[in-house]
Amino acid sequence: MAYLDAEQHKIVSDAVGAAELNTSGEIVTVLADRSGDYTDVVQLYSVAIAFSVMSVFALFPQPILDLWDNLIGGWTHQWTAGEIATMTIAIGLVAFGLSWLAFSWEKLRFAAVPGPLKTARVHAQAVKHFKVGAERRTHGRTGVLIYLSMCEHRAEIVADQPIAELVSADVWGDAMADMLEEIREGCIAEGLAAGVRDVGGILSKHFPRSVDDTNELPDRLIEV
């Protein structure tokens, strides 16, 4: 899913280019639709719901058995242990299937995913993209990745080790706040550009641009 058009991509790319004029740091921006499909979470919820429904039926089977007898003609009969076990399994399977179907609705699925898990998945994906696209790919190991994951409503800033040793997480937090303020208003490109400007300002203090500095990583926004 594309969130930005060519003009909006240019806003971010231009911000990266401008920020790197004052620093030897290299900024990479990644905009992701999501950081996971969370099928493991859907499966866990569906299994939990199925077993809960089966447990309720095991405790109070008679109303369901009477309902079933009425549906098939109204004649009651003596349910055997095997028939009750079969009914229990069937109810569990139906509950599992309906739960899985319900969680296939994206809004419900993402609403059901615990916040800490979303944060962990976004962080893992940010680190993955950083290792592929920025880590150790600059002469002075001065790469920084700004990663925004839309469905989780989360962002991450990941930096090469020399930068991480000098810049505390609190400092990145200020840059993140400026970025997310714009994004909450629906201005994704402008938010990313604000984050880039803040990161560039931080990098310029610790890693000022040298005379022979070259652009080692592309300025363009990567949308995945």
Residue by residue, pLDDT tens for the chain (224 residues) are 678 889 999 999 999 989 888 888 888 999 999 999 899 999 999 999 999 999 988 888 888 777 777 776 666 677 778 888 888 899 999 999 999 999 989 889 999 999 999 999 999 999 998 887 665 666 667 788 999 999 999 999 988 888 888 887 788 888 888 888 889 988 999 999 999 999 888 888 888 887 766 766 777 898 88
Q: Are 32 and 147 in contact (CB under 8 A)?
A: yes
Question: 6-36+114-223 has which CATH code?
Answer: 3.10.310.50
Q: What residue spans define the domains of the chain? A: 6-36+114-223, 39-112
Q: Collect all residues with Cβ–Cβ distance below 8 Å to 163 and sequence separation of at least 6.
A: 25, 141, 142, 143, 144, 203, 206, 207
**209: which 2 tokens?**
């641009």
* Predicted pLDDT of residue 39: 92
**DSSP code string of 84-134:** HHHHHHHHHHHHHHHHHHHHTSHHHHHHHS-HHHHHHHHHHHHHHHHHHHT
pLDDT per residue over 26-70, tens digit each?
889 999 999 998 999 999 999 999 999 999 888 888 887 777 777
* Predicted pLDDT of residue 217: 75
